Structure 1
Amino acid sequence: MTKKKIITGIVAGVAIGGIVGYLFATEKGAETRKKIAEETGNFFDDIVGHFMDMMQLGKEKGKDVLASAGEMADKVKMSNNFN
C-alpha cells in the first residue's frame, strides 16, 4: 500500500472512532446527534457566509477592473487622436 492510502486509512479510522466514541459518551445518543447536527449546520452556514462575502468582494473587484480598463481605453483613444 502507498503512504497516501495508509495515511487516509488512519485519518478515516480516527474520525470514525471519534464519532463513535462521542455517540457513546455520557449523554443520550439522540441529544448528541442533535448537537452534531446543529454544529454541522452552523459550520455550513459559516461556509456559505464566507462564500457570499468572497463573491461580493469579487464583484467589487471586477467593477474596479472594468472601470480601470475603461479609463485606460479612453486614454489610448485620446492619445491616438493626437497622433
Structure 2
Amino acid sequence: MDENEAAIRERLTAVESSVKSAHHRIDNIEELTQSVKSLAVETKYLKEDISDVKEKIDVIAGRPSQILTVIITALITATVSGFVGFAITNLLK
C-alpha cells in the first residue's frame, strides 16, 4: 500500500504542478485579452481622429480653388464693367 500511496502522491504533485502552470497561462491570456481590447479602443479613436484630420485637409485643400474662383470672378466682373462703362460713355457722347 505504501508504494501505491507514493505513486498517488507523485501523480497528485504532478497534477498540481500542471494545474498551477495552466492557471498561470490563463492569467497571461487574460492580460493579453485586456491589451487587445485596449488596442481596439485606441484604434477606434485613432480612426475617428484620422477622419477628422482628413476632413480638415480636404477643406484646406479646397481653399486655393475657392480663392482662384473669386479672383477670376472679380477679373471678369471688372472687365465686363469696363466694357459696359466704355460703351455707355461712347453712347452718351
TM-score (norm 1): 0.63
Identify the residue that residue 11 of structure 2 maps to in structure 1.
37
Deviation digits for residues 9-50 of structure 1 (CA, Å, limit 9, x no counterpart): xxxxxxxxxxxxxxxxxx921121011011011011101111
User: Which structure carries more relative contact order (alpha carbon 8 Å, separation 6+)?
Assistant: 1
Structure 2, gaps ≥5 residues long:
58-93
Structure 1, gaps ≥5 residues long:
1-26
**Does residue 1:66 correspond to 2:29, yes or no?**
no
Give the counterpart letter for 1:67 in structure 2: V
Task: Give the 5 Å matches for 1:47-62.
Answer: 47-62=21-36
Larger Rg: 2
Q: Find the residue that maps to 1:82 and give its secondary structure.
A: helix
Deviating beyond 4 angstroms after TM superposition, the runs of 4 or more aligned structure 1 residues are none
Give the distance between the partners of 1:56 and 1:64, measured in 2 at CA.
12
The structure with more helix, counted as a fraction of residues: 2
- Identity over the aligned pairs, expressed in percent? 7
TM-score (norm 2): 0.57
